[in-house]
């Protein structure tokens, strides 16, 4: 398959492949947030399939106290797609300050300590689920109405799940948070992950499966491989739905390795592991190749993390088309993330086929004039080097 730098495609040809398409993202955590925040500006139909493996923070407490599914990743996807304005996004994103009661400990006393550390958005979703007699899908629909989302959000399953990892030394770790943070707590050498699995056999959410099957483009990632992406594919029927879909399957490879999860991985290792759990190949892989500021490299090196090596020939040997671009940006949180605008251009950059420049210009002009449901001014603001989303 071909290897092309995304920047080799000129003009707005990438927009022609995006306009009017049904785009489905699969992931969890913070990875898809910027991508969804940017995709909502374009004339396409966006849906987010979200992992239900989260086991920490506010989500964990709501699960323990009320027996509900984790709300955190659902909330982030809803906020990313919101068109309601900054205030509503800030309301759903607000987190109560963590307080410690002198007698009973963190978060267990009455009053302020009872909501200590909780995300207000998680509490709102929990309340909406109660209003809808425990129906999470209706709660999400109500949240989408409140936030005027530009797309739909679906949990990958409506059942509680526990993510487990078996290590090379035979140890089994259970809990998404425990797997996700073990490298943070132990900076020395750690036994690598041999496999991940769910301790239950959850049924897939039918709406999630239906959305995947009807997609035109399925974007897997960005996000942590073992704790954000693969938990979705471990749900019975989801991997087969992705494979059977006629959509183009695109994998966005990580920018950095993560200590305790992907130590020593090159790009081909990420792709090979994804194919293993997916049960088939993706059509396109997006790789970063470009500079990262030295201070950021030093910061990540302190946590045993480094940039993922884009071993292009090895990725190409696995079958997919490879698109290479300078995709890294440093966010306000001083973390290296994908620049959402450049990432979208890479995802939808056309295959190297003959095209009519005049027809391309006419279609882009028509889209720019009426917006096809996008926000006013969206297309006039498209330019190279756009900053990361929201």
Encode pLDDT of 347-358 as tens digits: 999 876 444 444
Q: What is the pLDDT of residues 97-110, one digit of tens each?
A: 776 554 444 444 44
3-52+201-381 CATH pick, 3.40.50.2000, 3.30.390.30, 3.40.50.10680, 3.90.650.10: 3.40.50.10680
Tokens 């500079």 correspond to: 291
Starting from the edge strand earliest in sequence, which strands make up the sheet with 163-167, in order?
172-174, 163-167, 193-198
Q: Which residues make up the CATH 3.40.50.10680 domain(s) of the chain?
A: 3-52+201-381
The C-alpha atoms of residue 311 and residue 340 are separated, in whole angstroms, by 23
pTM given for the model = 0.83
- HEC sequence for 319-363: CCEEEEECCEEECCCCCEEECHHHHHHHHHCCCCCCCCHHHHHHH
* Pairing verdict, β 336-338 and 328-330: antiparallel
Give the pLDDT of residue 155. 97
pLDDT digits (tens, 9 = 90+) for 110-143: 445 576 667 888 899 999 999 999 999 999 999 9
Q: Count Cβ atoms below 10 Å from residue 148 Cβ, excluding itself.
A: 12
DSSP assignment string, 246-286: -SEEEEE--SB--TTTSTT-BHHHHHHHHHHHHTS--SEEE
- Over range 216-233, report the average pLDDT: 96
Least confident of 37-46, 181-190, 265-274, 284-293: 181-190
pLDDT at 83 over 50: yes
* Average per-residue pLDDT for the chain: 83
Token digits for 271? 């792709």
Please give the DSSP secondary-structure letter assigned to residue 30.
T
Between residues 362 and 217, the one the model is more confident about:
217
Q: Please state whether beta strands 163-167 and 193-198 pair in parallel, antiparallel, or not at all (unpaired).
A: antiparallel
């Amino acid at each position: 398959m071909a290897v092309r730098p995304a920047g080799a495609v000129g003009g707005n040809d990438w927009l022609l492949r995006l306009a009017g398409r049904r785009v489905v993202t699969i992931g969890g955590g913070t990875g898809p947030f910027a991508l969804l925040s940017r995709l909502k500006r374009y004339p396409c139909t966006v849906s987010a399939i979200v992992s239900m493996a989260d086991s920490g923070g506010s989500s964990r407490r709501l699960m323990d106290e009320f027996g509900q599914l984790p709300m955190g990743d659902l909330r982030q996807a809803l906020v990313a797609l919101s068109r309601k304005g900054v205030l509503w996004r800030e309301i759903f994103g607000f987190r109560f300050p963590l307080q410690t009661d002198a007698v009973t400990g963190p978060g267990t006393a009455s009053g302020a300590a009872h909501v200590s550390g909780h995300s207000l958005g998680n509490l709102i979703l929990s309340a909406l689920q109660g209003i809808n007699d425990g129906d999470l899908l209706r709660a999400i629909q109500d949240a989408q109405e409140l936030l005027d989302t530009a797309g739909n959000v679906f949990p990958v399953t409506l059942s509680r799940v526990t993510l487990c990892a078996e290590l090379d030394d035979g140890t089994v770790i259970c809990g998404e948070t425990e797997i996700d943070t073990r490298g943070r707590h132990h900076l020395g050498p750690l036994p690598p992950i041999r496999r991940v699995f769910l301790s239950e056999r959850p049924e897939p959410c039918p709406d999630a499966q239906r959305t995947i099957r009807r997609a035109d483009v399925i974007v897997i990632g960005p996000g942590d491989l073992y704790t954000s992406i693969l938990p979705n594919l471990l749900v019975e029927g989801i991997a087969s739905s992705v494979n059977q879909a006629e959509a183009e399957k695109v994998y966005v490879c990580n920018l950095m390795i993560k200590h305790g999860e992907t130590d020593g991985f090159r790009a081909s290792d990420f792709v090979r592991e994804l194919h293993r759990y997916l049960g088939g190949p993706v059509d396109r892989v997006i790789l970063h190749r470009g500079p990262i500021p030295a201070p950021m490299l030093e910061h990540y090196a302190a946590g045993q993390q480094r940039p993922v090596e884009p071993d292009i020939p090895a990725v190409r040997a696995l079958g997919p088309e490879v698109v290479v671009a300078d995709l890294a940006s440093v966010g306000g949180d001083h973390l290296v993330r994908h620049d959402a605008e450049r990432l979208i251009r890479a995802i939808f950059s056309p295959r190297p086929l003959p095209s009519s420049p005049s027809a391309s210009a006419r279609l882009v002009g028509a889209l720019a004039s009426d917006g096809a449901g996008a926000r006013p001014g969206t297309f006039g603001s498209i330019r190279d080097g756009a900053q990361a989303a929201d």
